[in-house]
Amino acid sequence: MVTAGPATTAVITGMGAAFPGSLDQQSLWDDVFEHRYQGDALARRLFLGAGVRTRHGVVDPRQEDISAWSTAARMRRYVAEAGPLGSQAVRAALADAGISAAELGLFVVVSCTGYATPGLDIQLARDLGMPSSVRRLLVGHMGCYAAIPGLGTAADFVRARGLPALVLCVELPSLHVQPVQAHRDLRQVVVHALFGDAAAAIVVMPDATRGLEVLDTTAATAPATEDLMTWQVTDHGFRMGLSPRVPDLLAAHVGAATAALLAPIAASLTDVEGWAVHPGGPRIIDVVEQRLGLLPAQTAVTRGTLAARGNCSSGTVLLVLDQLRRDLTPDATVVAMAFGPGLTLCLALFRHRQPGAHPALP
């Protein structure tokens, strides 16, 4: 009789990020958006109250107004900017994991802010020296939660094939600033205030003894909520629709979705040491705190990421996770969650693996 050996584990062993030029939130309002919104007091309060102090953009609207550009022009700019930024993040993640691009078996690219064919997956696989046999997957237009389905696919591949995988999220929402509207659209004020550009990459290895073991990923989609968060392709880039009802819908589902994620390991909310919450906006973070009973210290990294980087769409939850992993204790349980169109909530469950750890010397 053949006896099966132990199952292969999938462990995040490397993470990397890259950012374009820095943008100061107050300066963006003073120099660009105050004029756009004609000094409207409510628009100012929304813009400066978005929880963002600085963010990054391949387009600086203080220097370059692309609001009237066609979608084709914006996609050409995406191709020019996304490759170098993605390459930098991938190189950092591979170096952190201690492997070369030639060892990868799967390369997953996630983006909802730009497209081309042949795409980033082919371009970067070639430029970084991935093998010709590397499997490639593009996860497109899923929005802010897309890193978690990408991670789940990579982890499944690693467990099944025993080969390393890499997930790269490249998001450039600065390319999608919208034309001035004849009427004040407060939803667009919020969109223009929140989003920043970034690339974030993770390496997932088989049976690594150090890193974040991927235990599970899940998804929950609220029925009949498709119109509450949208990302529509228009003649002038991609336009986001964002309902103020989103936090309330999230509040109704986040508790049950998190409990379902933890149930297979018989864990409760109090057993979770690290919370990597996607910073969709201040109200989103408030809702997660309230519904899960989290202390401000448990969402401090999320709020700090929002303040320093803005909402970078799919890559943001990886930026939060990268910061969290630095201070975890051995065997710590970690939950990551992100939200997006659908309305969809995606979650991931990790166990921190750190063999031979010992207390720091005084």
Using CA atoms, how far apart are residues 195 and 174, in angstroms rounded to an integer? 7
Helix locations, the chain, DSSP H: 25-28, 34-36, 41-48, 71-97, 120-128, 147-161, 186-194, 246-262, 282-292, 300-309, 316-324
**CATH number assigned to the domain comprising residue 161:** 3.40.47.10
- Do 217 and 202 fall into the same domain? no
Q: How far is CA 193 from CA 111, 174, 264, in A?
A: 20, 11, 39
For residues 52 and 310, the answer to whether their CB atoms sit within 8 Å is: yes
Q: Can you tell me the distance from the alpha carbon of 80 to that of 301, in angstroms, rounded to the nearest whole number? A: 31
What SS3 state is found at 199?
Answer: strand
The total number of structural domains that make up the chain: 2
Residue 238 confidence (pLDDT) = 96
Other beta carbons within 10 Å of 43: 23
Nearest residue to 120 via CA among 157, 82, 150: 82
Show which of 206, 232, 262 is a domain's final residue. 206
Out of 172, 206, 240, a domain closes at 206
Do 165 and 67 lie in one domain? The reply is yes
How many C-beta atoms lie closer than 10 Å to residue 359's C-beta? 5
Model pLDDT, residue 180: 85
| pTM for the whole structure | 0.95
Is 360 contained in some domain? no
Domain boundary among 175, 206, 237: 206
Tell me what pLDDT residue 362 has: 32
Asked if the structure places residue 164 within a domain, the reply is yes
H or E stretch covering 336 = strand 333-340
What is d(CA 331, CA 172) in angstroms, rounded to the nearest whole number? 35
List of the chain residues with pLDDT < 70? 1-5, 182-183, 356-362
* Owning domain of residue 270: 211-353
173 and 292 in a single domain? The answer is: no
Strands 229-234 and 272-277 turn out to be unpaired
pLDDT, residue 182, reads 56
Contacts 24+ apart (CB under 8 A), 289-292: 290/251, 291/251, 291/254, 291/255, 292/254, 292/255, 292/258
Short-list 113, 53, 91, CA closest to 315: 113
Give residue 5's pLDDT.
62
Same domain? 81 vs 183: yes
The residue written with tokens 């407060």 in the block is 186
Structure tokens, 41: 């007091």
Q: Are 123 and 230 within one domain? A: no
Residue 4 within a domain? no
Question: Are 215 and 202 contained in the same domain?
Answer: no
CB 98 within 8 A of CB 11: no
Nearest to 53 by CA among 20, 22, 26, 19: 26
